[in-house]
Chains A and B, each alone.
Chain A
Amino acid sequence: MAIMRLNVGPIHPSTHGVLRLVVDVDGDTVKSVEPHIGFLHRGVEKLMENRMYMQSPSYVEKLDYVAPLSWDDLYVAAVEQATGILCKERAQFARVVLLEFQRIASHLLWLGTFANDVGQLFTLFMWCFRERAMILKLLEDVSGSRMFYVNLRLGGLYQDLPSDFKDRAYKLADYLEGKIVEYPDVLDENPIFLERTKGIGVLGKEDAINYGVSGPVLRASGIEEDTRKSNPYYTYGRIKFRIPTGNRGDSYDRYKVRYEEMLQSIRIIRETLDLMPDKGDVIGLPIKLIGPNAKPAPVMISRELPRGEGMIYMIPDKQKPYRISMRSPAFVNLAALPKMSENCKFADLFPTLGSIDIVLAELDR
Chain B
Amino acid sequence: MEIQSEALARTLEGLKTKGFDYLKKITAVDRVDHLEVVYILYSTINNEHEIVLTQLPSENPEIGTAMKFYKAADWYERELSEMFGIKIKGRKAKRLLLEKWNGAEAPLRKSFEWANPNYKKL
Contact = CB atoms under 8 A, between A and B. Distances in A.
Contacts of A51: 122
Contact of B74 (A41, A325, A335, A364): A335
B99 A209 contact: no
Given A230-B47, A364-B98, A210 B107 contact: no
A50 B75 contact: no
Given A38-B98, A38-B100, A325 B25 contact: yes
Given A331-B75, A332-B75, A37 B98 contact: yes
B44 interface: yes
Contact of B27 (A38, A211, A325): A325
B82 to A, nearest CB: 9
B29 A323 contact: yes
A300 B51 contact: yes
B71 interface: yes
Say whether chain B's binding surface is mostly helix, strand, loop, or mixed. loop
Given A46-B114, A300-B49, A335-B75, A210 B70 contact: yes
Interface stretch (B4-12, B16-24, B56-64, B85-93): B16-24
Given A37-B97, A38-B99, A300 B40 contact: yes
Interface string A259-280: 0000000000000000000000
B42 to A, nearest CB: 9
Interface in A119-141: none
Contacts of B72: 210-212, 332, 335
Interface residues of B, number: 30
Contacts of A41: 98-100
A332 B71 CA distance: 10
Tell me which of A51, A315, A339, A364 has the highest count of chain B C-beta atoms within 10 A of its own C-beta: A315
B69 to A, nearest CB: 9
Contacts of B100: 38-39, 41
Interface residues of A, number: 36
Contacts of A313: 25, 27, 38, 40
A346 to B, nearest CB: 23
B3 interface: no
Contacts of A211: 71-72
Given A46-B107, A49-B114, A212-B24, A311 B96 contact: no
A192 interface: no
A80 interface: no
A327 interface: yes
A300 B47 CA distance: 15
Given A45-B108, A311-B24, A225 B70 contact: no
Contacts of A323: 29-30, 108
B22 A209 contact: yes
A38 B95 CA distance: 11
A13 interface: no
A212 B22 contact: yes
A320 B48 CA distance: 29
Given A327-B24, A327-B25, A332-B75, 8 more contacts: A43-B107, A50-B115, A51-B122, A210-B71, A225-B44, A298-B51, A331-B75, A364-B98
Q: What 10 A-B pairs are tightest by C-beta distance, nearest first? A: A212-B72, A38-B98, A325-B27, A41-B98, A327-B25, A323-B29, A335-B75, A210-B71, A230-B47, A211-B71
30 contacts: A37-B97, A38-B96, A38-B98, A38-B100, A41-B99, A43-B107, A45-B108, A209-B21, A210-B21, A210-B71, A211-B71, A211-B72, A212-B22, A212-B23, A212-B71, A212-B72, A223-B44, A230-B47, A298-B51, A300-B49, A309-B24, A313-B38, A315-B29, A323-B29, A327-B24, A331-B75, A332-B72, A332-B75, A364-B98, A365-B98
